[in-house]
Amino acid sequence: MSTTGLAEVTRGPAPPAADPAAGPGVAALLRPHAWGFAAVVALQVIGAIAGLAPLLAVAELGRELLSPGPVDHGHVRIVLAAGAAGLFVRLLSTAASAGIGHVLDGRVQLALRRRLAAHLGRVPVGWLSRRRTGELAKVVGEDVSAVHPFIAHTPGELVSAFVVPLVSLVYLLAVDWRLTLITLIPVATAVALVPLLMTPTRRREQDDFDAAMGRIASSVVEFVQGIAVVKVFSGSARAHRRFLSAADEFVEVFSRWVRGVSAVAAGMQLALSPPFVLLVVLTGGAVLIASGGLVPADLLPFLLLGLGLTAPVAALGHGFDDMQAAGRALGRIRDVLAVRPLAEPARPVAPRGHRVELRGVHFGYGDGHQVLRGIDLVLEPGTVTALVGPSGGGKSTLVRLLPRFFDPDRGAVLLGGVDLREIGGRDLHRMVSFVFQDVRLLRASVADNIALAVPHAGRDDVVRAARLADIHDRILELPRGYESVIGEDTGLSGGEAQRISLARALLADTPVLVLDEATAFADPQTEQAVRRALAASGGDRTVLVIAHRLETVAAADAVVMLDDGRIVEHGRPAELLARGGRFADFWRPHRPAAADRPGIHDGLPRGDEYR
């Protein structure tokens, strides 16, 4: 049982959302904020360039004050004013870009989360129930947050990292072109080393490294997931072995990779390190000064600005890493938004009654395998139809089409003579309820869980449904009775969770009930509760039940035997048994045990068990 916070999907599809089926993609969501992005990037670039002004001012002051001859006070004042103005502009634009960037970021994240929430409300319920809760929570939470640097920081920082050195370079060229070229030696050396990291051998080592990393990850997951089984069957040594060999192999691959890249990487680091840059500038400057080609004061700007020239190379590493992570997160968001929602009818038609009909229904899960292959079936109001058949025959798939977890690929499911695709989500919701094996309860009170479909139900009605589902006494034993919060005050067994889900369906009191008689949580009490639910659904209700127990089959009005996606037999249970066909063959192994029970003769219980 899971007690997740995700929208519970115990009854029909989610209510329709207002906007059309195909909503805007990520790019369209970002488009209205394009001017905001442009402003953030522009302000960051302006701030970064203005930030150079104080440095340039110091360099100019140095040149002015250290050069021979009288000091030009006017020039000094202008330089000081320009430096101060630059500092001010930098502060202002950095604050403005941070402010706008973060507001923009908040808006984009909110828009993305709203869009995801609206979309998740419309995707097929079947798609949702196949996803792990953590997987979707990660997309809506972490992945949307991962977009933050992409919006608020990285583009501006990357642009600045290139623009600032360019501006510095122009200034340095104006001071002395020869020393500028010398100052560029460290960056040129680092860039010249890059191809050495891209040789076929290095690429192969990088691929091996990635593959070895993947093997470690998968062997860890396997080991952790299987740990309980491994312990029980005392095969821990064997399970360890795969992980150990993956780890050993990783160490070997990693050492090879490190040996290959370390010399080049160290060379690059050395070339870009401040001591090396200063050494080059000072050596070059000293040679030029000694030869009389450079005024000593002109060395100052090179010492101040030379270090900043290496910034783009470092920014390439960090900024692109962030951008790539944000890109991957956006990709996952885009994948979720790309899931085709169930189309809502433009003009919903109200069903006329609650006769259910499947007409020529074909369905597959999109992997090329057809699970249902031409199902024609009518479920009359006031009847119970038992669905039986070998495992994997398509029973669960078929019953999930009734609450429109999925739409058929071909053919149609009709309710009250109307194709489900023509019925509004809310109407369908009011007409079809279900109890499946994968019960999901919300982290809410037991009473709220039962009254999920009928939020205004009175306590008496909730208690009546709980009694009928044989869970009332157990609820009273919980710390806070009906107010106990599932997952906080209490946990429930699989059978208990299923009985809560049953109470929920009984309270909803829909004219169509779809039920999977669970084998997974089979305990006498749950079994009894299911039988009572079926008994209570007498009268005019249309009931389809995946039957695992003889009593259920025997008491049904009709049995449908499903094998390999086709109906192979359909009729009254006793007739089918008497006919000795596929159903009789399939059911024979169940008979001896059941036949021994009192009240059961020839494998069938006497009398009408629940009608």
- Which residues of this protein are in contact with ligand ATP, per CB under 6 A? 130, 365, 371, 389, 391-397
Q: Are strands 566-571 and 418-419 parallel, antiparallel or unpaired?
A: unpaired
**H-only helix segments in 144-235:** 144-145, 148, 154-175, 177-183, 185-193, 200-225, 227-232
Q: 130 vs 443, which CB is nearer to ligand ATP? A: 130
Least separation, in Å, of the C-beta of 130 and ligand ATP? 5
Q: 12 vs 394, which CB is nearer to ligand ATP? A: 394
Q: 102 vs 566, which CB is nearer to ligand ATP? A: 566
Least separation, in Å, of the C-beta of 253 and ligand ATP? 35
**Can you tell me the distance from the alpha carbon of 522 to that of 526, in angstroms, rounded to the nearest whole number?**
6
Least separation, in Å, of the C-beta of 376 and ligand ATP? 18
- Take residue 168 and report the two structure tokens written for it: 């510095």
**Whether the Cβ atoms of residue 293 and residue 178 lie closer than 8 Å to each other:** yes
Least separation, in Å, of the C-beta of 222 and ligand ATP? 21
CA atoms within 13 A on the CB side of 501: 33
Least separation, in Å, of the C-beta of 391 and ligand ATP? 3
Q: 234 vs 391, which CB is nearer to ligand ATP? A: 391
Angle (CA) 454 457 461, round 5°: 115
Q: 44 vs 397, which CB is nearer to ligand ATP? A: 397
Least separation, in Å, of the C-beta of 270 and ligand ATP? 55
**Can you tell me the distance from the alpha carbon of 53 to that of 49, in angstroms, rounded to the nearest whole number?**
7
- Take residue 28 and report the two structure tokens written for it: 């369209």
- Take residue 244 and report the two structure tokens written for it: 């150990």
**Whether the Cβ atoms of residue 552 and residue 558 lie closer than 8 Å to each other:** no
**Helix H or strand E encompassing 42:** helix 34-50
Q: 470 vs 569, which CB is nearer to ligand ATP? A: 569
Least separation, in Å, of the C-beta of 610 and ligand ATP? 23
Q: 389 vs 408, which CB is nearer to ligand ATP? A: 389
CA distances from 36 to 146, 260, 585 (A): 19, 44, 71
For tokens 């006329």, the residue is: 352
3-state secondary structure of 544: strand
Q: 365 vs 610, which CB is nearer to ligand ATP? A: 365
Least separation, in Å, of the C-beta of 47 and ligand ATP? 52
For residues 27-43, one letter each, b for 16 or more C-beta atoms within 10 angstroms of the residue's C-beta and e for the rest, the string is eebbeebeebbebbbeb
